[in-house]
Amino acid sequence: MSTSRKPFVGGNWKMNLHGSEVAELANGLTALPLDASKVDVAVFPAFPYLAQVAAVLKSTPIKVGAQNFYSQANGAFTGEVSLSMLKDIGCEVVLVGHSERRHVLGETDEMINAKVLAALDAGFEVILCVGEKIEQREAGKTHQINMAQLEYGLAGVNADQMARITIAYEPVWAIGTGKTATPEDAQEAHDRIRRCLNFGFDWGEDIGNAVRIQYGGSMKPSNAVDLLSQTDIDGGLIGGASLKASDFMAIVHAAEQSQA
C-alpha cells in the first residue's frame, strides 16, 4: 500500500456466531496487541450483539460498526434500525452496498446512495462496497461495473465528507468462495477505482488519493501480505477469516507491516 494512507482492516461477521462465540471472539480481540498508529480496525457484528461487542472493545482502539441500517431518521419502518440508535450504542462505522445486500436482499443504487448520504450526515464513517459478479467479469465489464457503483453510491458526497469514506473492492465471485483475486488483478481494479475517485468527481486528485481502498474476498493470513503489498490496496474487508481472532489479527498485523 502507499505509505501516505493508513491501512484499515474491517471484520464483517455477517450473520454468524451466537452468544458465547461472540463473547469469545470479542474477548480474543482485546487480548491481542495492536499498534493503532499504524492501522485502523473495525468489526461488524450482527445487530443483537452490537452493544455487547461495543462494551467489550471500548477499552481498545478497535471500532465497532453496523452491517446495515435504514436511511430514514425514525418512524414507522418495521424491522429497521436507525443511525441514531447505532450511535447510542457506540457504533461509529457502517457498511453500505455490500454485495450480499445488493444481490441477495435487492438493495438498489438509489437506496445505497441514500444510505451513504444519511450516514455521512449523521457523522458516521462509511465503507462503500463495490464489485463485479463473475458473469460481468467474464464479459469484460469489471471496471464499468465498479465505476457505475462508485458514481451512483457517491453522488452528492462533498470533498469534506470524503475523508470519512472508505471503498471496499469486493469481487462477488471471490466472496466466501476461497477464490481470491490475484494481487495483480486486485491492484488493477483498485487502480481503476483510484482513477475514478481522482478524475470522475469534482473534488480532485488530492481527495481521491487520500481515500483508502480495501480489498475483500477470501482474504486470509496466507494471502494478506501479497495483497496488502500492492500500491492501491489499503487494507481488507474480511469475512470468514474475521471469525477467528488469531486469523483476523494476523491480517491486521500484515496491514501494519505493509506500511513499513
Query: Is 98 one of the annotated active-site residues of the chain?
Result: yes
- Mapped onto helix, strand or coil, the DSSP state of residue 167 is strand
Contact 54, 64 (CB under 8 A): yes
Residues 94-153 that bind ligand 13P (CB under 6 A): 98
Residue 136: CB atoms within 10 Å: 17
Looking at 50, 62, 240, 251, which residue binds ligand 13P (CB under 6 A)? 240
Residues 200-219 that bind ligand 13P (CB under 6 A): 216-219
Cell of residue 82, nine digits: 436507525
Closest separation in Å from C-beta 174 to ligand 13P: 6
Looking at 238, 245, 251, 255, which residue binds ligand 13P (CB under 6 A)? 238
Contact 257, 30 (CB under 8 A): no
Q: Which residue lies nearer to ligand 13P by CB, 235 or 240?
A: 240
Residue 170 engages ligand 13P in binding (rule: CB under 6 A): yes
| Nearest by Cα to 114 from 89, 144, 83, 93 | 83
CA distance 129 to 255: 19
Closest separation in Å from C-beta 25 to ligand 13P: 15
Interacting residues with ligand 13P (CB under 6 A): 12, 98, 170, 175-176, 216-219, 237-241
Catalytic residues: 98, 170
